Structure 1
């Protein structure tokens, strides 16, 4: 083999090594840096009955109640808390924002806007069993209404 051929083979080997190294770096970059980061948030839940209301009055946080928005009334959760509500009768789930106080019926856990009741498909029944879920940071605001395992 001539000297020129050996030099050419070495150059090709270096090029192939560089290509493989570059591909490996890109793969690591895409896999670990650009991938969507899913952080799991610890949550806590309560179970009970939900009802709906469609008043056109001022809510506890000062805004006007809008039956077309996904809002809720809860007795103890802070205003603006995002609450995931699951209708235990049909499995439908949505997120609502607490903007009012209530419900005042002892058996009820949460009052939902008319729009939320429509989304959860319990308008005709008026009430439905639900599980509400909030981030663990709001656990201190929840008492009673334990979910059965």
Structure 2
């Protein structure tokens, strides 16, 4: 495939859309939250295009893969920070910790869980077991590790 667009361009676009979505969520108002949710969905769609372009165009690289994973983690963390800040903007009473901090902790935890799931797919024992799994159960983890399994 001959195009001037590279997979890293699409990864950067995904990052910018995801960060814009997180900022919208941080406003805390209904309309902003809906706009943020739409941008996050769009960001997740664009996230799948970079890997497809890399495979189809023969432009896969280790740096691109790590850049994609770093952007995925950053968008995930910022998504939860944005939700926490947005929830804090609605003045939730009785919280001892700022909602933005709670969102950051949740985002980091999810990013770590995702990276651990991807790393576990590379272990030899895991691969031996995965040959015996059904196609349906393999698909569940491949959504998390979309690029690392190919």
Into which bin does the TM-score normalised by the smaller protein fall?
under 0.3
Q: Which has the higher contact order (CA 8 A, sep 6+)?
A: 1
TM-score with structure 2 length normalisation?
Answer: 0.19
Structure whose CA Rg is larger = 1
Q: Greater share of helix residues, 1 or 2?
A: 2
Q: Greater share of strand residues, 1 or 2?
A: 1
